[in-house]
């Protein structure tokens, strides 16, 4: 009789510990990453700040984040200066100078294109999550689908109406590394989840999966009860479902 209260008490303590761990662990990891990033930026920027302008000279303890604030201000000023004619001319001169360096020009050009795509042109980023059979038939891998574009690869490997689409297959748990593949559009199973949900699924190694969202299917503005299958490719228009109303039911 005395073992039951002890067991329930230990179970409660374990549940309390797990609940507190679930609450504290994400906060601690986020704070650690943010603190590490601030310290990394400070270690790069603070050595170049004159001592008379640094608050560390006048205070007994160093001020974390001051280098980050200075870096943000400098980046904003550089962007403001680049927006005018003089700043644009200086940037163009620097790019022409880098373009004459054999190794540096390739690295700079690739990095510039990546940053412009990610930060400027939102429409050129991955816009959908899908599944492809990889590394063998019957095994499915999560991929990020790029926008469909006409490229040299599509022209060389034309599949008669079935275009090749660039997909990025990230690795778990680091979604910044992976494989770039060109897959036939008919071989991609498109999903309804967002890019953020797909990234969470990759980072968590499948532990954090988004819930399936039930869609309301309508025809001519009227709700259809039950699932509707997609008609086969090339099939004619499908007749709408007819609903039997109370007046159309046979009288018994």
What pLDDT was estimated at residue 108? 83
User: pLDDT at residue 33 above 50?
Assistant: yes
Q: Output the average pLDDT for the chain.
A: 77
What pTM did the predictor assign?
Answer: 0.54
pLDDT at residue 58 in the model = 87
Q: pLDDT value at position 143?
A: 92
Do residues 203 and 142 make contact, with C-beta atoms less than 8 angstroms apart?
Answer: no
Q: What is the mean pLDDT of residues 12-33?
A: 90
Q: Which of 18-32, 67-81, 83-97, 118-132 has the lowest mean pLDDT?
A: 118-132
pLDDT score at 164 = 83
Asked if residue 211 has pLDDT above 80, the reply is no
Domains of the chain, each with CATH number or no CATH = 126-203 (2.30.30)
pLDDT digits (tens, 9 = 90+) for 101-114: 888 888 888 888 77
Query: What is the mean predicted confidence (pLDDT) over 43-48?
Result: 90
- Looking at per-residue pLDDT, the higher value among 54 and 150 belongs to 54
pLDDT at 237: 46
Would you call 100 exposed, middle or buried from its count of C-beta atoms within 10 A (0-12, 13-18, 19+)? exposed
DSSP string, 27-82: HHHHHHHHHHHHHHHHHHHGGGS-GGG-GGGTSSS--TTHHHHHHHHHHHHHHHHH
36 — pLDDT class (breaks 50, 70, 90): very high
């Amino acid at each position: 009789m005395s073992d039951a209260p002890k067991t329930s008490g230990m179970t409660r303590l374990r549940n309390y510990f797990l609940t507190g761990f679930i609450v504290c662990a994400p906060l601690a990891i986020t704070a650690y990453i943010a603190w590490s990033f601030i310290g990394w930026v400070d270690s790069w920027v603070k050595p170049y700040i004159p001592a008379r302008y640094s608050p560390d000279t006048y205070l007994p303890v160093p001020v974390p984040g001051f280098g980050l604030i200075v870096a943000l201000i400098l980046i904003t000023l550089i962007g403001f200066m680049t927006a005018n004619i003089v700043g644009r001319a200086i940037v163009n001169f620097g790019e022409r100078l880098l373009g004459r360096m054999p190794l540096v020009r390739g690295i700079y050009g690739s990095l510039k294109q990546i940053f412009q795509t990610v930060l400027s042109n939102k429409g050129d980023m991955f816009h959908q999550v899908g599944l492809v059979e990889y590394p063998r038939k019957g095994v499915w891998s999560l991929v990020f689908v790029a926008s469909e574009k006409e490229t040299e690869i599509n022209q060389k490997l034309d599949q008669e109406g079935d275009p090749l689409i660039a997909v990025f297959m990230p690795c778990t748990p680091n979604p910044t590394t992976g494989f770039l593949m060109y897959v036939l559009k008919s071989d991609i199973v498109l999903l309804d989840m967002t890019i953020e949900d797909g990234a969470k699924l990759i980072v968590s190694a499948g532990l954090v999966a988004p819930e399936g969202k039930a869609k309301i299917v309508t025809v001519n503005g009227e709700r259809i009860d039950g699932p509707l299958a997609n008609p086969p490719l090339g099939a004619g228009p499908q007749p709408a479902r007819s609903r039997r109303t109370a007046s159309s039911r046979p009288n018994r």
